[in-house]
Structures are given as C-alpha cells and as structure tokens.
C-alpha cells in the first residue's frame, strides 16, 4: 500500500519562475510528495492521458492532486478542466486552481467546470509556503481521497 507521501502531484504552470517557487515552497514546507510539472494545457492533457513521452506510468504516474493555472498557452486551464471532467478514469481527480486571476467570472467558471478549490497566487514566498502547507494538510492528510485511477 502506498503512503500519501508517495502520491504524485501534477503542477500545470506555464511561468517557469512560479513553477520553481511552488516546488520550492513544497520542499520548504517539508511536503514529500513527488511533483511532476508541465508547462501548458496540451502538455497537461498528454501527461494525464499517457500520450507520447508520458506513456510510462512508473516515470509519470497519474496524480492524486492537480494544481492548475488558468492562463496557459495552447489549451487554457478551463479547457484542461473541461477535458479532465469528461474522462471516466480521471474525472474524480481533485483539482486546485492556483492562479493570479481574481475575476469573478473566472472563479465561477472554474467551479462550474468542476474545480475543487480556487486559490489566488500570493505575492510573497512565505504566503506561498503557507498555502502549500494548507494544501498538504487538507488534500493530502485530512481529506479522504478517491483511489488513484487504475487502483
């Protein structure tokens, strides 16, 4: 049986600096879960569907949680969310939108498409670390998660 710390988190973030900061915040918060990062919506869909170079599930396991930016190249976070929720084997995967958009229309649309949570990217690294700790506690420690796809 896998421990919660062995479950993969998929980070979908096009800004390399933000992705690096999020990964650093996870490490500083002593969160042991492996993080796989992709840079755009098409890459997220390829990863989740096991297409092309993501076919090896030992190297690219399905995530137990997805951190999803909305403003992505190629395929937006909204489009990724809509695609994900239409996939029978993936639609239960929790998605935390982590974005800089405070627009009410974006918040509402994300929830309508099946986001489980909507968080704003903080300005400081310390605040980002606190958010990563909260995500860890809620989603990976306290929350009863569905079985990962394929189990």
Task: Tell me if 62 is assigned to some domain.
Answer: yes
pLDDT attached to residue 29: 84
Nearest Cα to Cα of residue 69 among 3, 142, 12: 12
Return mean pLDDT, the chain. 90
How many domains does the chain fold into?
A: 1
CB-facing half-sphere around the CA of 34: CA atoms within 13 A: 12
C-alpha 30/C-alpha 5 separation (Å) is: 10
Q: The pTM is what?
A: 0.91
Query: For a pLDDT cut of 70, what percent of the chain falls above it?
Result: 93
* pLDDT > 60? residue 3: no
pLDDT attached to residue 114: 96
* pLDDT > 60? residue 1: no
Q: What confidence tens digit (pLDDT) does each residue in 110-150 have?
A: 999 999 999 999 999 999 999 999 998 898 888 887 766 55
Task: Tell me if 119 is assigned to some domain.
Answer: yes
CATH of the domain at 67: 3.40.50.2300
Distances from the Cα of 127 to the Cα of 6, 21, 34, angstroms: 25, 11, 21
- Strand order of the β-sheet with 65-68 is 35-38, 9-12, 65-68, 95-99, 117-120
Task: Tell me if 104 is assigned to some domain.
Answer: yes
Task: Tell me if 151 is assigned to some domain.
Answer: no
Better-scored residue on pLDDT, 63 or 5:
63
Query: Would you give the DSSP letter of residue 121?
Result: P
Distances from the Cα of 81 to the Cα of 21, 46, 69, angstroms: 23, 13, 10
Task: Tell me if 41 is assigned to some domain.
Answer: yes
Task: Tell me if 147 is assigned to some domain.
Answer: no
Give the structural domain span for 84.
4-142
C-alpha 31/C-alpha 55 separation (Å) is: 26
Q: What confidence tens digit (pLDDT) does each residue in 4-20 have?
A: 557 899 999 999 999 99
60, 54 Cβ separation under 8 angstroms: yes
pLDDT attached to residue 148: 60
* pLDDT > 70? residue 88: yes
Distances from the Cα of 97 to the Cα of 70, 78, 102, 103, 107, angstroms: 7, 10, 12, 13, 9
* pLDDT > 70? residue 36: yes
């Amino acid at each position: 049986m896998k421990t919660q710390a062995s479950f993969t988190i998929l980070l979908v973030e096009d800004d390399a600096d933000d992705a690096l900061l999020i990964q650093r915040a996870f490490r500083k918060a002593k969160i042991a879960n492996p993080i796989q990062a992709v840079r755009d919506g098409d890459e997220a869909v390829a990863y989740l569907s096991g297409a092309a170079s993501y076919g090896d599930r030992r190297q690219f396991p399905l995530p137990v949680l997805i951190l999803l930016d909305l403003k992505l190249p190629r395929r937006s976070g909204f489009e990724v969310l809509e695609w994900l929720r239409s996939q029978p084997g993936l639609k239960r995967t929790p998605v935390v939108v982590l974005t800089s958009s405070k627009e009410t229309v974006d918040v509402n649309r994300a929830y309508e498409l099946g986001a489980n949570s909507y968080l704003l990217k903080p300005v400081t690294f310390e605040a980002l670390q606190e958010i990563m700790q909260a995500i860890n506690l809620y989603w990976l420690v306290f929350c009863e998660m569905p079985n990962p796809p394929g189990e």
